[in-house]
Amino acid sequence: MPDTNVAIRTDYDAVVVGAGFSGLYMLHKLRELGLSAKVIEMADGVGGTWFWNRYPGARCDSESYYYCFTFSKEILLEWEWTSRYPEQPEILRYLNYIADKLDLRRDIQFNTRVMGARYDDSSGKWIIETESGEHLTATYFITAVGCLSSAQIPNFKGRETFRGKSYHTAQWPHEGVDFTGKRVAIIGTGSTGIQAIPVIARQAAHLTVFQRTPNYTVPARDMPMPPEFKQGVKARYDEIVQKTRESVFGMPFEFPTQSALEVAPEERDKVYEDLWNRGGFCFMLSSFHDLIIDPVANDTAAEYVRRKIREIVTDPETARKLSPYNHPIGTKRPPIDTDYYETFNRENVALIDIRSEPIEEITPDGIRTSKREYGVDAIVYATGFDAMTGSLFRLNIRGRDGILLQEKWADGPHTYLGIATVDFPNLFMITGPGSPSVLSNMPVSIEQHVEWIAACLGYMQSRGLNQIEPLREAEVAWDAHVAETAAATLFPRADSWYMGANIPGKPRVFFPYAGGVGAYRQHCAEIAANSYEGFVLSQHRERVAPR
């Protein structure tokens, strides 16, 4: 018989939402501090991004040897990646291994969606409400909800009338989808579409790609991890980890010092050609230092990719449609691919440019554009996410005096360091807007945030403090710094999700921090060393209502 006198615990030092990379590591660090913690996760397993994104071709584009946790040498040495860019099932296995290795599951409540979180000024506690109506209380409320976890399907007229099957890539059925013999449409040519299109094209009877903006992509050149490479990486791990932490993008590449405009055109093309053949992000990151700040330098790389498209794609009209023209290379998150441009040489693949032929409606039998109806059996929405703030807003977070986060941020996010925001005491956001987050190899930024938050809580604990909130002037200064850093780059020139441009009505500001992982890390460390400069730390005393 269960002991009915034992109350189910609902009050914690910290409640964390999300059990991806961020939530898993946060839980581990909270436990190390001896704090009681609960992670709430709406999925029925750990993994976050890698739990949800099971579409054909899903894999990371950071390389496996640095797309991982680095806090534990034992884990680094124990885990074996099979390939340069592991596929989704392997990364999901890795995160399950982490959860088991650190015995995390006993403090994770799965299948539970957080619907609301409210700060109660009198008790100094957060009250967190789940979909089933359960209430938890916590001194600290930590969001680990991910920057790319709120799937976005455009509101096309007639969408619900479609008689075939529709899928968003981030809500992919766990049992997989067999497209054999099917006519498939895919909308979207971001990183996701670019990964999925070649794989679906190989299986489906016919694939029609609906493209709004042609994208620049560079070959990934995936390959199995040779044993000697693995050994070399393990032997040099300290050096690799150090490099990622000090780098601009959280990757262990040498940042180039040369300008694209300093070298003769033939020499420049040789650099691009070598990196194109090497594959992956190094095309952008290891070529020239000014690609993301100087439009003329940028265009040398953009034109190189356009030339490659013309070389690879046999039909000149298709090559023209695939050629990016309206944004500098790298100002939308750069995808990397396996046989993307080559796929448009297949007989069973058609490319529709929906700027010249807009989608008018989804019909019961397919997709109708301004020119004709395309009959299909299945539609794949590779249309992305309400990035950076979507999942935060869905938490309905209310701070002091009931202020709602989305009201405070109606004109764009306002944060201090991307970690905290005024009027929301004891709220910590892992990889929040205003931090390097999505501009970096994310595990590096996640580890830095989690470790900074844990150190901050440890500092407070050792001084008997339990309240932290940024100063308004610190937040205003950080917002200005985030904006001015972005303005010094070409990023604002693209209609990207970095700018909120993919979501109708979303404010047009640059959401992440473009100042670089290393510089940001150092800045955060200095703030901590200066007794958490820019924050007010205090001891909250429960207020008793007057009689």
Interacting residues with ligand NAP (CB under 6 A): 60-61, 148, 154, 187-193, 195, 212-213, 333, 354, 382-385, 438, 497, 502
Q: Which is nearer to ligand FAD, 146 or 515 (CB)?
A: 146
CA 420 – CA 428 distance, rounded (Å): 5
Tokens 């694209």 correspond to 260
Closest CB to ligand FAD among residues 374, 381: 381
Size of the site for ligand FAD (CB under 6 A): 35
Q: How far is the CB of 50 from ligand NAP (least distance, A)?
A: 10
Q: Which of 113, 140, 152, 141 is nearest to 129 (CA)?
A: 113
Residue type, 296: V
| CA dist list (Å): 514 to 55, 506, 533 | 30, 20, 22
Minimal distance, residue 260 CB to ligand FAD, in Å? 25
Residue the block writes with tokens 């670089």: 516
Q: How many helices (H) and strands (E) does the chain have?
A: 17, 20
**Minimum gap (Å) between residue 420 Cβ and ligand NAP:** 24
Q: Which does 300 bind (CB under 5 to 8 A by kind): ligand NAP, ligand FAD, none?
A: none
Least separation in angstroms between residue 396's CB and ligand FAD is: 9
Q: How far apart are CA 453 and CA 360, in angstroms?
A: 48
Residue nearest to ligand NAP as judged by C-beta position: 190
Q: Is 22 in the site for ligand FAD (CB under 6 A)?
A: yes
- Return the residue of 15, 30, 108, 114 that touches ligand FAD, per CB under 6 A: 114
In which element (H, E) is residue 361 found? strand 359-363
Q: Rounded to the nearest whole angstrom, what is the least distance from the CB of residue 497 to ligand NAP in the complex? A: 5
Quick one: 130 or 496, whose CB is closer to ligand NAP?
Answer: 496
Closest distance of CB 359 from ligand FAD, Å: 23
- Count Cβ atoms below 10 Å from residue 257 Cβ, excluding itself: 8
Q: 133: helix, coil or strand?
A: coil
423 contact choice in ligand NAP, ligand FAD, none (CB below 5 to 8 Å, kind-dependent): none
Among 15, 28, 29, 51, binds ligand FAD (CB under 6 A): 51
Q: Which long-range contacts (CB under 8 A, 24 or more apart) does 368-375 make?
A: 374/185, 374/208, 375/183
Residue whose entry in the numeric block shows the structure tokens 């969001």: 143
C-alpha closest to that of 485 among 439, 532, 425: 439
Give the nearer residue to ligand NAP in terms of CB position, either 434 or 500. 500
49 binds, among ligand FAD, ligand NAP, none (CB under 5 to 8 A by kind): ligand FAD
> Do the beta carbons of residue 334 and residue 281 sit within 8 Å?
yes
Stretch that binds ligand FAD, among 144-152, 282-290, 300-308, 508-516 (CB under 6 A): 144-152
Task: Report the candidate in 538, 487, 526, 531 with the shortest Cα–Cα distance to residue 509.
Answer: 487
Phi and psi, residue 116, nearest 5°: -160, 150
436 binds ligand FAD per the rule CB under 6 A: no
Residues in 183-202 at the binding interface with ligand FAD, rule: CB under 6 A: 192
Residue 446 interacts with, from ligand FAD, ligand NAP, none (CB under 5-8 Å by kind): ligand FAD
212 binds, among ligand NAP, ligand FAD, none (CB under 5 to 8 A by kind): ligand NAP
Q: How far is CA 355 from CA 143, 320, 343, 393, in A?
A: 38, 13, 21, 31
Q: 343 touches which of ligand FAD, ligand NAP, none (CB within 5 to 8 A by kind)?
A: none
Q: Which of 37, 49, 324, 344 binds ligand FAD (CB under 6 A)?
A: 49
CA trace torsion 475, 479, 480, 484 (10° rounding): 150
- CB under 6 A: which stretch of 37-45, 252-260, 273-281, 495-503 binds ligand FAD? 37-45
* Interface with ligand FAD in residues 357-396 (CB under 6 A): 391, 394-395
Whole-number CA gyration radius for the chain: 24
Mapped onto helix, strand or coil, the DSSP state of residue 525 is helix
Task: Residue 21: name its binding partner from ligand FAD, ligand NAP, none (Cβ under 5 to 8 Å by kind).
Answer: ligand FAD
Q: What is the DSSP letter of 510?
A: -
Do residues 38 and 209 make contact, with C-beta atoms less than 8 angstroms apart? no
* Contact pattern from residue 287 through residue 326 relative to ligand FAD, giving x for each residue in contact according to CB under 6 A and a dash for the rest: ----------------------------------------
The answer to the question of residue 251 lying near ligand FAD (CB under 6 A) is no
The DSSP code for 344 is: T
Contact (CB, 8 A) for 120 and 467: no
Beta carbon of residue 49, minimum distance to ligand NAP (angstroms, whole number) = 8
For ligand FAD, the closer CB: 21 or 498: 21
Nearest-approach distance from CB 337 to ligand NAP, in angstroms? 8
Shortest approach of ligand FAD to residue 146 CB, angstroms? Answer: 2
Query: Which partner in ligand NAP, ligand FAD, none is near 19 (CB below 5 to 8 A by kind)?
Result: ligand FAD
- Cα separation, 60 vs 64, whole angstroms: 8
For residue 397, CA distances in Å to 21, 415, 427, 431 come to 22, 14, 9, 17
Sign of torsion over alpha carbons 351, 357, 359, 360 = negative
Residue with tokens 């007229």: 157
Q: Which residues bind ligand FAD (CB under 6 A)?
A: 17-23, 40-43, 48-49, 51, 53, 58, 60-62, 67, 113-114, 144-146, 148-149, 192, 391, 394-395, 431, 441-442, 446
